[in-house]
């Protein structure tokens, strides 16, 4: 696939502004962690996003989405990176990496749990759940199904 058309200087300046506004990280293809972060469970998938937003919270997700939509870039969402067809990584777009968002909140009174988008079943199972036990497949798969 071809890289999206970008106006000279605009993408770089907007990327720097995005990076400065995030609590998490915005990785460009030249960042040391870029190649490791873009890898997914299916090793046959080798796509290169224009940037990877390693989101630390909802505000990071919103900012990265605004960036991608504003530039008409493809968007992909990585929760655990287990999508067999590789939906969690896009070519030339914005990859939202939710794996840093791994908090689990359990309310013992209502016996409900709330998990952020990057939580996998192993992380969920490691929390005291106070009789909250949904079914699961394995410990490394993501709770969310975006990827």
Which is more confident, 117 or 19? Answer: 19
DSSP 8-state symbol, 100: T
Total domains in the fold of the chain: 1
How distant is the alpha carbon of residue 39 from its chain centre?
Answer: 12
121 part of a folded domain: no
CATH number for the domain spanning 41: value is 3.30.43.10
106 part of a folded domain: no
What's the pLDDT score for residue 80?
73
| Domain ranges, residue 47 | 10-97
- The pLDDT tens digits for 110-133 are 877 788 888 877 777 776 655 666
Q: Is the confidence at residue 19, as pLDDT, over 80?
A: yes
Of the ranges 8-12, 78-82, 106-110, which one carries the lowest mean pLDDT score? Answer: 8-12
Q: Which of 20-24, 102-106, 122-126, 143-147 has the highest mean pLDDT?
A: 20-24
Q: Is the confidence at residue 32, as pLDDT, over 50?
A: yes
**Which of 76, 69, 20 is closest to 52 using CA atoms?**
76
22 part of a folded domain: yes
1 part of a folded domain: no
Q: Is the confidence at residue 38, as pLDDT, over 50?
A: yes
What's the pLDDT score for residue 41?
82
Report the run of H or E that residue 124 belongs to, with start and end. helix 121-125
**Which strand ranges, in their side-by-side order, compose the sheet holding 75-78?**
25-27, 51-54, 94-97, 75-78
């Amino acid at each position: 696939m071809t890289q999206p058309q970008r106006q000279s200087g605009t993408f770089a300046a907007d990327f720097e502004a995005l990076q400065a506004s995030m609590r998490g990280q915005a990785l460009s293809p030249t960042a040391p962690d870029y190649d490791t972060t873009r890898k997914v469970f299916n090793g046959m998938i080798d796509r290169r996003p224009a940037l990877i937003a390693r989101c630390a919270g909802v505000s990071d997700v919103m900012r990265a989405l605004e960036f991608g939509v504003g530039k008409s870039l493809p968007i992909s969402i990585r929760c655990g990176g287990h999508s067999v067809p590789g939906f969690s990584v896009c070519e030339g777009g914005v990859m939202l990496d939710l794996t840093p968002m791994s908090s689990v909140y359990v309310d013992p009174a209502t016996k409900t749990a709330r998990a952020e988008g990057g939580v996998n079943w192993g992380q969920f199972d490691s929390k005291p759940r106070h009789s909250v036990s949904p079914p699961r497949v394995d410990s490394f798969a993501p709770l969310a199904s975006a990827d």
